[in-house]
Amino acid sequence: MHIFVTGGAGYIGSVCSEEILNAGHQVTVFDNLSEGHRSAVDPRATLILGDLMNRDEIFAAVKGARPDAIMHFAANALVSESMTNPSKYFRNNVSGGINLIDAAVDAGVKKFIFSSTCATYGTPEKIPMDERLAQKPINPYGQSKLMFEQILNWYDRIHGLVYINLRYFNAAGASDKFGEDHRIESHLIPCILKVALGQREKAEIYGEKYTTPDGTCIRDFIHIQDLAAAHILALGRETSVSYNLGSGEGFSVRQVLDIARKVTGHPIPVVVKEPRPGDPPRLVASSHKITSELGWRPKYPRLQPIIESAWAWHQKHPNGYGD
């Protein structure tokens, strides 16, 4: 199959492209490199430089590629930034997304795999979180992703565009070649590893008075190669659906720090800061639905090997991609 990958120069899109290519498919990456990196694009893929906000560019790119399916990773994805600049999130994640699905309909593309998020649920009423939970986002990032899920539903009903919403929990880890290098790094594991690399003095803990056993937030980490495997399985799906994707186990920020200390051999000192607005205390996935319907199972169910793969990549690329 030929897969059109928006955001393929970013963290998750780069590893998904690599795995799709390894599975024998063809990949066209569409990215404006606002957050991604040219050298994060697998050399076997075709890279089109373009912006989703430019309707002509995305229409021409999709029409020219004539893909069998689109995987849509391109977005702005910082919860805290969305709490101060909601406009950026609604414009890029919703309006940019509409340009893309209009281009898909125009070019006759029938399958669309969307990078959604557990942030669409907000603060969950129940853990582990399955797909039946009410979606009540508590930040504009999560709201923008939920709005786009709802728009996709109408495009299926009206245009027959089959969508698979993959609601990721916290993506983590690296492949041998590609890893996590966000321009503004706020994700827990790379922030901690930067301390172990000697690039930051202390790891930051945002809040230690949450209603969790050690008072710090609890998150569910999923290896990006496991995420990639789910995308490849989703290509075989013929009707629209939403799936949660996580390892099913929650780790507190302090537990993540302990594992990172073990992996890196560095004491990783910490500083406790104020809680960040828009951060729910506990997010843990039930991935039962995708396991039973598509046969997906994580190859990295444990956190330590996930952090080990991230650490190996960061040691090889202490300054990230450098572009």
Ligand X SMILES: NC(=O)c1ccc[n+]([C@@H]2O[C@H](COP(=O)([O-])OP(=O)(O)OC[C@H]3O[C@@H](n4cnc5c(N)ncnc54)[C@H](O)[C@@H]3O)[C@@H](O)[C@H]2O)c1
Given candidates 48, 62, 71, 75, which one binds ligand X under the rule CB under 6 A? 75
Given candidates 36, 122, 246, 280, which one binds ligand X under the rule CB under 6 A? 36
Given candidates 27, 62, 129, 171, which one binds ligand X under the rule CB under 6 A? 171
Smallest gap, in angstroms, from Cβ of residue 22 to ligand X? 18
Given candidates 12, 27, 47, 48, which one binds ligand X under the rule CB under 6 A? 12
Size of interface with ligand X, in residues (CB under 6 A): 28
What is the rounded distance in angstroms from the CA atom of residue 311 to the CA atom of residue 305? 10
User: 89 or 311: whose CB is closer to ligand X?
Assistant: 89
Q: Which residues contact 306 (CB under 8 A, 6 or more apart)?
A: 172, 173, 189, 221, 223, 300
Decide if 201 contacts 152 (C-beta within 8 A): no
Does 9 bind ligand X (CB under 6 A)? Our answer is yes
Strands 111-117 and 69-72: parallel
Q: What is the DSSP string of 130-176?
A: -TTS----SSHHHHHHHHHHHHHHHHHHHH--EEEEEEE-EEE---S
User: 84 or 213: whose CB is closer to ligand X?
Assistant: 84
What is the rounded distance in angstroms from the CA atom of residue 319 to the CA atom of residue 181? 9
What is the rounded distance in angstroms from the CA atom of residue 53 to the CA atom of residue 222? 30
Smallest gap, in angstroms, from Cβ of residue 267 to ligand X? 26
Compute the C-alpha angle 6/7/9, nearest 5°: 125
Among 11, 89, 121, 141, the active-site one is 141
Stretch that binds ligand X, among 45-53, 105-113, 267-275, 283-291 (CB under 6 A): 45-53
Binding region for ligand X (CB under 6 A): 6-7, 9-13, 31-36, 51-53, 73-75, 77, 92, 96, 115, 117, 168, 170-171, 182
